[in-house]
Chains A and B, each alone.
Chain A
């Protein structure tokens, strides 16, 4: 199993551009999450999903959108990128809402 994979690994965006961060898991996990980690800080939850077709906001959802059309994929969309969205983005998944969350390798995003 590859586990949780994320693409791209790195990206530089200009202010106002848009992009989609991809996340895929091959563990047939129901729950998936997007976190952001700012330098020297802990992770903050952006959005999460408890199953295909079901998504909900986390602590810091503004400026982002998600969709969950399949169990495997949970893309994160950034519209009108702003410098405040410069961060490392981690996707995670878990089998249920009571299990360990497995993290992907992260996407380092810079908005200039």
Chain B
């Protein structure tokens, strides 16, 4: 089955700096890669996703890049703000095959003032 590894497990940045979280996946058939943000005690919420037919996607301060050959994808957050502090999860799945998400173990992002 699919295996997703995520690094780092914790990340501390100064407000205004950029943050990068990296994930690798094992199943070359995976074609859908969402990123979820989870605040303490809350449900995961989708912040951005990418499909295997594109290499990069942006949404304001958030971007995701995908390298299918190397089987890794990354989340980039620019101009970080205190409200970006949360746990971020990457995931991978085969869209159209039940879309069963396999999650990484999460990155605790702390944005310091």
| Physical interaction between A and B | yes
A residues near B, CB below 8 A? 31, 33, 35, 40-45, 48, 50, 56, 58-59, 90, 94, 96-101, 103-106
Complex Cα spacing A45 to B101, Å: 7
A59 and B102 form a contact (CB under 8 A):
yes
A59 and B1 form a contact (CB under 8 A):
yes
Task: Give the residue name and chain of the B residue nearest to A98 (CB).
Answer: B95
Complex Cα spacing A31 to B32, Å: 16
Indicate which residue in B42, B96, B100 contacts A48 across the interface (CB closer than 8 Å): B100
B43 and A43 form a contact (CB under 8 A):
no
B46 and A101 form a contact (CB under 8 A):
yes
Complex Cα spacing A81 to B6, Å: 31
A97 and B103 form a contact (CB under 8 A):
no
B residues near A, CB below 8 A? 1, 4, 6, 32, 34, 42-46, 49, 89, 91, 95-106
With contacts A42-B105, A48-B100 taken as known, whether A103 is within 8 angstroms of B44 at the C-beta atoms is yes
Complex Cα spacing A90 to B97, Å: 21
Which chain B residues border A44 with CB–CB below 8 Å?
103
How far is the CB of B93 from the nearest CB of chain A, in Å? Answer: 9
Complex Cα spacing A111 to B72, Å: 37
Which chain A residues border B106 with CB–CB below 8 Å?
40-42
Which chain B residues border A33 with CB–CB below 8 Å?
100-101
Q: A42-B6, A98-B95, A99-B99 are in contact. List 12 more A-B contacts (CB 8 A).
A: A35-B101, A42-B103, A43-B89, A59-B100, A59-B102, A90-B43, A97-B97, A98-B99, A100-B49, A101-B99, A103-B44, A105-B43
Which chain A residues border B99 with CB–CB below 8 Å?
31, 94, 96-99, 101
Which chain B residues border A99 with CB–CB below 8 Å?
99
Complex Cα spacing A32 to B12, Å: 35
How far is the CB of A27 from the nearest CB of chain B, in Å? Answer: 14
B101 and A106 form a contact (CB under 8 A):
no
A100 and B103 form a contact (CB under 8 A):
no
Which chain B residues border A59 with CB–CB below 8 Å?
1, 100, 102
Complex Cα spacing A59 to B42, Å: 23
